[in-house]
A and B are shown apart, each in its own frame.
Chain A
Amino acid sequence: MGTLHLPPEVEAVFREFRTCEFTTVNRQGQPLTWPTEPFYDALGGRLIVTSSIAFPVKAYNARRHPQVAVFFSDPTGAPLTEPPAVLVQGDAIVTELVDDPPWSYAMFKESILRQPRTRSFVSNPLARRLFTFQFQRLAIFVQPRRILVWPWGDMGRTPTELEVRYVE
């Protein structure tokens, strides 16, 4: 697919927001939205969220109903001034995160940098053993199909739709 061609303020949201509101749809057609830590795989032009194998409902939902949404509306902790809110509607592919691909190291590092207190936790073999399930994860790759942007996060306005365009 290549990298996504994005305005810098939207790319900054993908890179810097600490949480997104990630929605899957269950068997009954009910949307379920939970706060989730997002990762932007710039080279792959996709967003990645993960889920512990202990709590795999969102991954199961995304497998059954691949149309999902990733909403960036809470900038808490992001070093950005008046960022836009961004909604990505996309198609999900779910896989077990077992082969430790290169991007998974970058994701791990980014997560620790965002939550500095967890450094001592992951460095402690006993903690890792007790909470092994936290490190056994399912990856949900979201390929954007539609991107809506609300400048300054102002939901009273009609959003601007970006053309989803990839650059090789």
Chain B
Amino acid sequence: MWNERLIACARAYPSGVLTVVEDSGYPRSVRCVVEFDDARGLILFSAPSPDVLGQQGLACLLFHRHNADLGGQHELLVKGELREEAGVLIMRPGDFLTGSGRQDTDRMPVAGSPVDIIRFMMLGRRKARQYLAKRGKPWSPRPWGKMLRYLDEP
């Protein structure tokens, strides 16, 4: 489904990372400039890298950015199907995913408001409990004293 709010976020990026799966089973990524066809709900690659010309099938398109110190993180992934139409490579989007799970912004929780951070903390704690329940034993405590001392070693 075309998500207008997330497409508006995607338009802010100069390029995205398109990934397909090769016949060998390995994923292959390239960075591409994209265009959005709102009327038809399609993403167009009018000047794709030679590497992805002729590729068809399941694909994904990632947009992300961060500051030099890894603050201000934003990320948005479009899952879809790639095909060639009249000589142009196009993607028909399926799902739009964000790192925060939201469908109205690509901002990561740590780049958001205190409410976003608290929501993220509660979600993370709940999901970790599920993992540990399935694991059947607790996670051993981290050696924080040793780790923090290591930070100050030359």
Contacts and interface: CB of A to CB of B under 8 A. Distances in A.
Contact of A77 (B19, B58, B68): B68
B124 interface: yes
A47 interface: no
B124 A52 contact: yes
Interface in B124-149: 124-128, 131-132, 139-140, 142-144, 146-148
Contacts of B47: 156
Contacts of B77: 32-34
Contacts of B31: 73, 85, 153, 155
Contact of A76 (B62, B67, B127): B67
B54 to A, nearest CB: 14
B124 A35 contact: no
Interface in B25-63: 25-32, 47, 49-51, 58-60, 62
B139 A136 contact: yes
Interface of A: 18-19, 21, 23-25, 28-35, 37, 52-56, 65, 67-69, 71, 73-74, 76-77, 85, 87, 89, 98, 100, 105, 108-109, 112, 114-117, 119, 122-123, 125, 128, 130-136, 145-146, 153, 155-159
Interface of B: 17, 19-21, 24-32, 47, 49-51, 58-60, 62, 64-71, 73, 75, 77, 79, 99, 121, 123-128, 131-132, 139-140, 142-144, 146-148, 150-151
A67 B19 contact: no
Contacts of B66: 18-19, 35, 76-77
B71 A21 contact: no
A145 B121 CA distance: 37
B27 A159 contact: no
B70 A115 contact: yes
A109 B153 CA distance: 10
B131 A56 contact: yes
B114 to A, nearest CB: 13
13 contacts: A19-B64, A23-B19, A30-B60, A33-B17, A33-B19, A34-B75, A55-B127, A76-B66, A89-B28, A109-B151, A115-B69, A133-B124, A145-B26
Contacts of A100: 142-143, 146-147
